[in-house]
Amino acid sequence: MNCAICGNKLKIFRSYKVNKVRLDYIRRICIDCVKKLGITKIDSETKQSLLLSHIEDLKRLIENKEKFSTRIQLERASVEKENEIQIKNEQEEKFKDVKNEFTIHGSIYSNVFLRDDNKQILLTKNNQNWYKIFKYSELETFERNIDEDVSYKTNKKHGITRAIAGNAIAGPVGAIIGSGTAKSNSVENHRIKSITFSIRFTSGYLYTIIFSGIDSQIKIADSLYLHLNGIISSNQRDNKKTIMSNNNELNNLTKLKELLDDGVITEEEFTAKKKQILGI
């Protein structure tokens, strides 16, 4: 491991933890950089203030030959913590408002919410305030993968009756033959383990949601499948209309240009009509 400030190799027992950007990852700085920060005494309070410090701030202090202040850093960390809590609370409130709107006006499929009134899709995650909103028109495609177990059960029918009939005809040996000719029916049983949806949007974003194999989840997955299919079918119809409209505009412009070339209309009339067709 190297020092996060100077890059020199660390002696683990002569280095100190410092914070960075993500709170789940801790880096260390060497004793020489600690001295350059003007720290002469390492107590629990100093260690805590270093742990709450950002690498870039410490680098800036060393470059400017300024001394590290435990008191100032603890105060700054306290303010940052308060700001983080405030931002988190605001995000939670915003998420609740958005989710509530989709709950009232839309259809709920576990973590996927679909609103037909304003044609929007809300994607969420379990136990998180994370969410994304897309327009119906941004839904490109989706795949549904059904994971299931297949088992086989074999049933023999009329074995005893056939054995008796065989005995009447051919004695004990006939009984054995008759019993062996009983019909066997093999039944194939399917049990759904899970259903996975991979939903892709025109931006390239891919969202995955998994439903379990219990009946209530299967019903929700089936409903989501039908709803998504309906949205994609509608998008395809809209795209077809747009293409047809563009083709009509192109045909009209071609005819207009022919009229201009034939001297039927003037350049000014051509320009005005072209703007009208193109909606400029």
Residues 152-176: tens digit of each pLDDT:
777 655 544 443 343 433 344 434 4
pLDDT at 243 over 80: no
Per-residue pLDDT averaged across 72-93, rounded?
88
Q: Is residue 64 part of a domain?
A: yes
Asked, for residue 53, whether it belongs to a domain, the answer is: yes
Beta strands (DSSP E) in 51-130 are 107-109, 112-115, 120-124
Quick one: which of 122, 99, 103, 110 has its CA closest to 217? 110
Of the candidates 43, 47, 42, 69, the one whose C-alpha atom is nearest the C-alpha of residue 57 is: 69
Helix/strand/coil for 185: strand
* 28 within domain boundaries: yes
Q: How far apart are CA 210 and CA 207, in angstroms?
A: 10
Give dist(CA 122, CA 135) in Å, integer.
9
Query: Phi and psi (nearest 5°) for 243?
Result: -65, -45
> If you ran DSSP here, which 8-state letter would residue 109 be given?
E
pLDDT at 114 over 60: yes
Domain for residue 209, yes or no? no
Rounded mean pLDDT of 213-229?
96
Let me know the angle formed at the C-alpha of 152 by 150 and 155, rounded to the nearest 5 degrees. Answer: 160
Token reading at 195: 């259903």
Distance, in Å, from the CA atom of 228 to the CA atom of 236, rounded to the nearest integer, reads: 12
Tell whether 143 is covered by a domain: no
Report the predicted TM-score, pTM, of the whole model to 2 decimal places: 0.57
Domain assignment of residue 159, yes or no: no
Span of 119-128, 182-191, 239-248 with lowest mean pLDDT: 239-248
Candidate from 46-55, 84-93, 241-250, 270-279 with smallest mean pLDDT: 241-250
Structural domain containing residue 48: 12-79
Number of domains in the chain: 1
Distance, in Å, from the CA atom of 115 to the CA atom of 121, rounded to the nearest integer, reads: 6
Q: What is the pLDDT of residues 180-200, one digit of tens each?
A: 455 556 777 888 999 999 999
